[in-house]
Amino acid sequence: MNFFFTDHMNAEQQTTLVTDCISRLYESGITVRALSCDETEVNAKMFRKLGMTLDDSAVHPCNVSVYVYGIFDVCHMLKLVRNAFADDQYLGMVL
């Protein structure tokens, strides 16, 4: 079992870590088909570095016949919008 304890990574570091995790899982018999995260700047850059776009998937790093899809989690995206409104104090005006 592996653990990766991190605090604030840039997109390059995160891409390397995610690719490493996908490869380790593949070697143990698990094929990753999708990644899910909120749409922070680092996560969006990581998806682009992996080759994922809004209308396309990325090729699996260990098997070129398998595609990996990037999914921005709707619940987290709604939370980001809520936080943006709250930070700018627009929330009271909207409600």
Under 8 Å CB-to-CB from 88, ≥6 apart: which residues? none
CA angle 15, 53, 76 (to 5 degrees): 75
89/83: higher pLDDT: 83
Q: Is the pLDDT reported for residue 71 higher than 70? A: yes
Q: What pTM, to 2 d.p., does this model score?
A: 0.74
pLDDT tens digits for 25-49? 999 999 999 999 888 889 999 999 9
Task: Indicate whether 22 pLDDT > 60.
Answer: yes
